[in-house]
Each structure stands twice: as C-alpha cells, then as structure tokens.
Amino acid sequence: MPKKEYDVLIVGSGHSGGMAANILTKKGISCLMLNAGPEADYQRDRTTKAAHELPYRGFNKPGRLPHVYQANEFNANQWVDEKENPYTHDPAKPYNWVRVRLLGGRSLFWARQSFRLSDLEFKAAEIDGGGDSWPISLDDLAPFYSRVEEIFHVTGRKEGWPQFPDGNFIEQNYPPDSRTIQKVTELCKTRGIGVSKMRSSQGEGGLASSINLLLPAAVDTGKLEVVSNAIVREITVDKKTGKANGAFFIDRHSKREMHVGAKVVILAAGTLESTRLLLNSGIANSSGVLGHYLHDQIYGVSVVASVPEARDGKAKPGMMGGSAFIPRFRNLSKAKKSSFIKGYCAIIGSGGSASPNHFAAYGEELQAKLDSYQGSCVSGSIYGERTVKFENHVRVNKEVKDAWGIPVLHIDVKDTPNEFAMAKDAADTFEELFKDAGWEILSKTDKFYPPGYSIHEVGTARMGNNPKTSVLNKWCQSHDIKNLFVVDGSSFVTCGWQNPTMTILALSMRASEYLAEELRKGNV
Amino acid sequence: MKRRRFLQALSTAPAVPALVQQAGAQQAPATVPAPAAPGRGGRGGATGQVPHIPVGTPDDSADTVAKFFTTGQFATLKKLAGILVPPVKGNVGALDTDAPEFLDFLIGASPAETQTLYRNGLDGLNASARRKFAKAFSEIDAKQADEILKPLLVQVPWVYDLPKDPMKHFVYQVHSDLRTATRNSPEANKAAANTGRRGGGGAGLFWNPIDPV
C-alpha cells in the first residue's frame, strides 16, 4: 500500500515545475515535487575567494566538466558532475549538455533574456517549410505570456514588430544611446533592420528563479511537498487502466529505491531528462518520435571592431558604452529569400576592450596595444535558430549507466548547411556594418559552439495535433497517457532565436490550468 | 603562515570563554549542568563561538616542486615566460609569480593531449634555437627569440578554433596560460591591491561542493 497518494507528482523544480506547482496548489490540488539534487544554501554554499586561493588558480581542474564551456573554477560545483551523470555521443558529433540539479534547476542561473515567440516560429511550416507548425499560435499563448511577464517583472521597449511581439513590460526610461550605438542604429535603419533594447526579467533581489518567484506561493498553500535528492528512475503505469500512477525514485545519497503514487504525473525535469525518463520507462511513444527533433540555437558568431576616435583614452563623453538588441531581421516574409531559412538576433555592445587574442604580439608590444584599444571596442554577437530535423535525436544507451544505475542518453545531433550559411551571413553583415561606420575590424568569426551550448535545448517530445507525428497534444498532455504531462522545453516544435524561458513558463501555466480544469471535471 | 601574522590574528580573535562566562552569569542555571557525554568535547560539541584561526594558502609559504617537464623543457618554459609575459608598467611578470612552476603542475595534471602539445612545443622551440643559433632556447637573447616566436604568433578570434599548425597552437596556448597563471597569482593580487591598479585575477563568488554524495 502506498504511504500516500498525491493528486499530482511533479518531477523537476525549475521554471516549468515551479510554475506547475504554483498554479495547481493555488487551486487546492495536492502536489509532490521530486528534485534530483539538493537545495543550495546561498549563505553556506557560496564564499568570496580570490582566484589565487583556488586549487588550480582559476584554471579549473583539468578534465573536469569537458562539455560545460560555461564552467570555471568558481562555479564548477553548480553544474552536474559528468562522471556521476555521463552521456554519450559520437566524437565527431559533439554535444554540450549543460545541467544543474539543484532545487530550482537552471532557473537559478539563466541569463534572464525574456522574449515571446512570434508566429514566424509558431507557423514555421507556412513561413519557410523549415520544420512543422505548432498546434497553437501566438494568440493562444499571449494571455499566458502576459501573466508570466508580470510575475517575472520583465522590462523591455515596445516596438510593434510582428517578429518581436511586445509584452506586458515594466516601463523603463532608457538613457540616451551613446554615439556608437546611435551609429549602429542609423546604419541598420538604412538596411531595413530594426534596432531595439534587450528584454529582461528583473525578478526580485537579482534572482528570477522558481525558488523565489514561484515555489514560495505554492508552499504557502500547504498543498506542496518537496523532496530533494530524489532521482526518478521510471514512471509507473497501471496495467489495467493504462494511466500513470506514480514513479520509482532513488535516494541520491543512500541509493534506497522508493515508489510514490499520484493521480497525475507532470514531467518538468528539463528537455532531455524528461525525455530520458520517458524512454527509460518505455511509455508515451506510440508515435515513434519521442527523442527526435532535438534542436537549440547557435552561439559564438561575433565581430569585434575598434573605434579609432576612442583609442588611447581619447573617447569623448557619450561616445562609447551601452548596448542595443536587434531581433530577427532575415526572412521575415516569404518574398524575401536568402541563402538560408529562419533567422538570428544580435546583441551589440559598446565600450569593451580588446582581448590579447586580437593581437599577434607579446610582452611590452602587446601591453601597449591593449592599453591603446582599451574601452574602444564595439562587438556584435548572435543567437541563431537551428533547423529542426527528425534525424537529430536522443536514445537510451543501455551500455552506460549513471551513478544510480540508470541508463544514460546517447545524443546524436549534427548541424546542417543552413546553420553554416546563417553564421556566415551574420558575420558578413556585422563586418560590413562596422566597416561602414569607419571602425577597424579586430576579429570576425563565423564559427559557433557545438549543439547544446546555448542551454536552450528543446524538442524530443514535441506537441502536435496528430498522435502519429507528435508525443504531446497542444496542452502538453501525452497523446498516449491522458494523465501524463510534459511541461518543460520538450514540447517545442521550433525554438526560434529567442531564449525559450518565457515560452516554457507560459506553456506550463497554460497546461497546468487545463489540467486543473480536467481534474475538476473528472476527465483525467 | 608567518608566526607574526598568526599572533596578530590570535590577538584579535573573540575572547570566547569570557563571553560564555558572562552569559552563564546572566542566566544562572538552577542546577549544575551534567558533564558532556564522552566524545562530545572539542569543536563538535561547542555551544559558543569558536575562534576563527586564519589560515593561508600553500603559495604563502612554499614553492611548487616542478617535476613534470624535463630539465631542458622547463628551462625553455622559463625562458618563454620571461619573454611572453615580462613585468610591464609595474605589473608583475610571469617569472615573478612562479607561473612556469605552476604550469609544470597544471600540465602534469592535464589530459595527455595537452601534455603532448606542451612537450612537443617546448622541444620544437629548443630544436629551432639549436638549428638557427646553435644554442638551447633558454640561452638565446631576446632578438633571437623574437626571430623564432614572431612567425608563430597568430590572432585567435575564436578560442575553439585554434591554429592547425601544432607550433602555432602551442605558442598561443602557452602564452594564454602564462598570462592567466600570472594574473591569478598571489603576487599579482598583492601588487594590484597595493597599487590600486587592475591586473590581479581578483575575487569571485566560489560555489562550495553542495551536499556531495
């Protein structure tokens, strides 16, 4: 006999799980949240240290976290240990799976860029044929975006551009742009490129996480219980009804195996962990597409230029500094064709300094150059949408298991010519722009990081109206098992160039309200 | 830690026993407390404030023992350190911070691919010096070193797209590593603190291991 049966079991405590708990508990629904890792104590677990006090002088321990390029010796302990939690890939097809298992998950560390998807992404099949369309449109999700933006205190400048949908923003007075940012804006205007400002979640106290914006209200209802260090191994299904009825989990420390019962199961463990759990459970895959259509965004393409008038400390007040944000501007209509489909956004930063890597010099000569170029630089970098392919997939590798005996994922993803063409276009565009401004190009690269680096991995349990070609319906509900929902990035059909967090939150909110209503009606 | 610093630190540590005594005087127990159970003494059983004993890092007091590179390779690395990252404008240089000794340790603990890059690179520079000047790299002058090194310098605008030529790759890597080892050294930190200039590696928020298994 189970000790207790909950209305809803939520696996994962990041933004999507936190939102599900927030919505459901406020409606009186009892929830149990299982999180694979511990809860961080921000006072106990963080210490200010000088780089020279670290064992490896800031270099990080050699060979540790080979896939997490974001890791350094200061933050190494926040990421998932790749020895305890390995995954596999063909060496010729690298994939950077960047994970956090602390309570709150990756919501503790995200960059807080807060965008809505547009109908360019929701209706991808109609726009460019690159991937399928979602079963929902911006109109369906807009009310939920607005409520999420209110909770997360999103700032932004309204523009009225269809590719960059406006939101429920906190009004903000932006200081006048520096003259270098003005120059970029003018040059973009002549090319028909719109320049705006970054949209960002302010959160509270510098944190825009589930642990401070979503979970406290859920806890206050008395309807949420949270268990940490609980590694879910398998979703269990009642053979008679075909419905999910709970999960097996393993205590992280003792490795004791437990089972918990629930009327509904919500997966919110992050795209690939949720899909791994479904694959290991052998459920929700009558379509055969579970694990497929993994995609994210390209990062790394950049151009850096130096403003000659700003060198040697001669920049006049108002010349340097500030930033601009350029939302997608390529392929906005069917009529305009370029060498690739989809698009990218760009961030322009002014007032930075040159890096030693920019100069083929050393010693005093290098120092003289670094001094001369200090504060004189303008940079442009992009986030671009990767195309969606059935072939880009994950599967269970039964030959390799994690520290708790659970089979790991094998990730099989390869970039296509579209990504390379997009990257080249971006590098060429910003090189030309900066040259037209009269600035010296210091570096230009059309190279980009391996898939996964963006930490925006989505897909693998995509939503759709057709149960034969999708895993979830438009409510993030399994086509196969009606009381199973997946509310993280797994459901994405296309990712766009946008940080997916606002969309994940809005989808989770929408799915949770749907579930609450279905529970009330007795339909689940 | 130097004895003087230790004594200074002790002199500023809170007088914990006195505080405990005061608290006891204000709240006189009705009965004599039972003695602590066996094994509950020491810090583990402390109920008051425990003195903080300031501790230093190994670099405060000791030198790294270089043992990975051969004598010839290490001499080449030291020569490189002096040329690539000299003391400039009051900043400390790589040799002031024992950066070569630190890299001997770091590369010795690194994956085989990195070790091979360094060993072959150092041997390659040495061979080049012998071929051009009939001397070890460690014995050539600055002008001769320039003649060997400058053709191997390249811009690296993308740190994950390193030069295909192994010698150019090595020179980029050792230059970058020497700069980091120097900037993040105790000596650079101290120099930056003393002068108020930028240059030291500075401080950051370090995440301790969180509830490790």
- The reply to whether A335 touches chain B by the CB within 8 Å rule is no
Nearest-angstrom CA–CA distance, B21 and A214: 46
A75 CB neighbours in chain B (<8 A) are 205, 207
Contact B89/A74, CB-based, under 8 Å? no
Q: Which of B158, B162, B176 to mutate to test the interface with A (most CBs of A within 10 A)?
A: B158
Contact B180/A59, CB-based, under 8 Å? yes
- The reply to whether A403 touches chain B by the CB within 8 Å rule is yes
B54 CB neighbours in chain A (<8 A) are none
- The reply to whether A78 touches chain B by the CB within 8 Å rule is yes
Give buried/exposed letters for A336-373 (b at 16+ CB in 10 A, else e). Answer: eeeebbbbbbbbbbbbbebbbbbbbbbbeebbebbeeb
pLDDT tens per residue across all 524 residues of chain A = 457 889 999 999 999 999 999 999 999 999 999 999 999 999 999 999 999 999 999 999 999 999 999 999 999 999 999 999 999 999 999 999 999 999 999 999 999 999 999 999 999 988 887 789 999 999 999 999 999 999 999 999 999 999 999 999 998 889 999 999 999 999 999 999 999 999 999 999 999 999 999 999 999 999 999 999 999 999 999 999 999 999 999 999 999 999 999 999 999 999 999 999 999 999 999 999 999 999 999 999 999 999 999 999 999 999 999 999 999 999 998 776 789 999 999 999 999 999 999 999 999 999 999 999 999 999 999 999 999 999 999 999 999 999 999 999 999 999 999 999 999 999 999 999 999 999 999 999 999 999 999 999 999 999 999 999 999 999 999 999 999 999 999 999 999 999 999 999 999 999 999 999 999 999 99
Q: Which amino acid is present at B145?
A: A
CATH, residue A242: 3.50.50.60
- The reply to whether A356 touches chain B by the CB within 8 Å rule is yes
Give buried/exposed letters for A79-115 (b at 16+ CB in 10 A, else e). Answer: bbbbeebbbebeeeebbbbbbbbbbbbbbbbbebbbb
Pairing between β-strand A257-267 and β-strand A5-11 as defined by DSSP bridges: parallel
Q: Are residues A369 and A433 located together in one domain of the fold?
A: yes
Nearest-angstrom CA–CA distance, A362 and A414: 38
Q: Are residues A277 and A418 located together in one domain of the fold?
A: no
Contact A74/B206, CB-based, under 8 Å? yes
Nearest-angstrom CA–CA distance, A294 and A492: 9
Burial of A67 (0-12, 13-18, 19+ CB in 10 A): buried
Q: Which residues contact B52 (CB under 8 A, 6 or more apart)?
A: B13
Q: Please state the length of chain A.
A: 524
Contact A76/B205, CB-based, under 8 Å? no
For tokens 């997916």, the residue is A500
**Between B152 and B5, where is the model more confident?**
B152
Q: Are residues A272 and A351 located together in one domain of the fold?
A: no
What confidence tens digit (pLDDT) does each residue in B19-62 have?
333 333 333 334 444 444 444 445 567 778 888 898 887 877 88
Classify residue A478: in a domain, yes or no: yes
Q: Are residues A305 and A339 located together in one domain of the fold?
A: yes
Q: Mean pLDDT of all residues in chain B?
A: 81
Give the pLDDT of residue B32: 42
User: How many interface pairs between A and B have CB atoms less than 8 angstroms apart?
Assistant: 144
Contact A449/B160, CB-based, under 8 Å? yes
Q: Are residues A320 and A382 located together in one domain of the fold?
A: yes
Contact A356/B176, CB-based, under 8 Å? yes
Shortest distance, CA B171 to any CA of chain A (angstroms)? 11
A73 CB neighbours in chain B (<8 A) are 206
Q: Are residues A330 and A432 located together in one domain of the fold?
A: yes
Classify residue A272: in a domain, yes or no: yes
Nearest-angstrom CA–CA distance, A473 and A471: 7
Nearest-angstrom CA–CA distance, B177 and A76: 19
Give the pLDDT of residue A334: 75
Q: Give the E-state strand segments of A38-158 in sequence order.
A: 46-50, 88-89, 154-155
Contact A49/B114, CB-based, under 8 Å? no
Range of the domain at A26: 5-40+102-155+223-292+458-521
Q: Are residues A328 and A346 located together in one domain of the fold?
A: yes
Kindly list the domain boundaries of chain B, sorted by start residue: 60-195
Tell me: pLDDT of B192 over 60. Answer: yes
Tell me the HSE value of B31 on the side-chain side, using a 13 A CA sphere. Answer: 3
Give the pLDDT of residue B28: 38
CA-to-CA separations, A475 to A47, A125, A464, A514, A518, in angstroms, rounded: 43, 20, 9, 7, 11
B177 CB neighbours in chain A (<8 A) are 59
Q: Which residues contact B205 (CB under 8 A, 6 or more apart)?
A: A46, A47, A48, A74, A75
Give the pLDDT of residue A269: 98
Shortest distance, CA B26 to any CA of chain A (angstroms)? 31
Q: Give the E-state strand segments of A205-270 in sequence order.
A: 224-227, 230-237, 244-251, 257-267
Shortest distance, CA A372 to any CA of chain B (angstroms)? 14
Q: Which of A41, A43, A52 to mutate to test the interface with B (most CBs of B within 10 A)?
A: A52
Q: Is A205 left (phi over 0), alpha (psi -120 to 50) or beta?
A: left
Contact predicate A475/A264, CB 8 Å: no
Q: Which residues contact B77 (CB under 8 A, 6 or more apart)?
A: B69, B100, B103, B104, B122, B174
Chain A's closest residue to B172, CA to CA, is: A357
A481: tokens are 């098992």
Contact B207/A363, CB-based, under 8 Å? no
Nearest-angstrom CA–CA distance, B84 and B100: 12
Give the pLDDT of residue B36: 46
Give buried/exposed letters for A151-189 (b at 16+ CB in 10 A, else e). Answer: bbbbbbeeeeeebbbebbbeeeeeeebbbbbbbbbebbe
Q: Are residues A331 and A437 located together in one domain of the fold?
A: yes
A279: tokens are 């694959």
B52 CB neighbours in chain A (<8 A) are none
Contact predicate A148/A506, CB 8 Å: yes
For tokens 């290098």, the residue is A366
What confidence tens digit (pLDDT) does each residue in B61-95 have?
888 888 999 999 999 999 999 999 999 988 899 99
Give the pLDDT of residue B10: 33
- The reply to whether A447 touches chain B by the CB within 8 Å rule is yes
- The reply to whether A230 touches chain B by the CB within 8 Å rule is no
Tell me: pLDDT of B8 over 60. Answer: no
Give the pLDDT of residue B198: 57
- The reply to whether A55 touches chain B by the CB within 8 Å rule is no
Q: Which residues contact B86 (CB under 8 A, 6 or more apart)?
A: A363, A364, B93, B94
- The reply to whether A205 touches chain B by the CB within 8 Å rule is no
Chain A's closest residue to B186, CA to CA, is: A52
Run of H or E residues at B211? none
DSSP assignments along B87-146, one per residue? --TTPPPGGGGTHHHHHHHHHHTS-HHHHHHHHHHHHHHHHHHHHHHSS-GGGS-HHHHH
Name the residue among B38, B53, B112, B104 with its Cα closest to residue B77: B104
A252 CB neighbours in chain B (<8 A) are 213
**Between B27 and B143, where is the model more confident?**
B143
3-state secondary structure of A460: coil
Give the pLDDT of residue B196: 65
Contact B189/A359, CB-based, under 8 Å? no
- The reply to whether A91 touches chain B by the CB within 8 Å rule is no
3-state secondary structure of A406: coil
Contact predicate A121/A388, CB 8 Å: no
- The reply to whether A173 touches chain B by the CB within 8 Å rule is no
Give the pLDDT of residue B24: 34
Give buried/exposed letters for B86-113 (b at 16+ CB in 10 A, else e). Answer: bbbeebbbbbbbbbbbbbbbbbeebeee
> B112-133 and B166-183 helices cross at what angle (nearest 10)?
110
Based on DSSP, count helices (H) and strands (E) in chain B, helices before strands.
Answer: 9, 1
Give the pLDDT of residue A221: 98
Q: Are residues A322 and A439 located together in one domain of the fold?
A: yes
Q: Are residues A110 and A36 located together in one domain of the fold?
A: yes
Which of A360, A364, A403 minimises the CB distance to B86?
A364
A40 CB neighbours in chain B (<8 A) are 207, 210
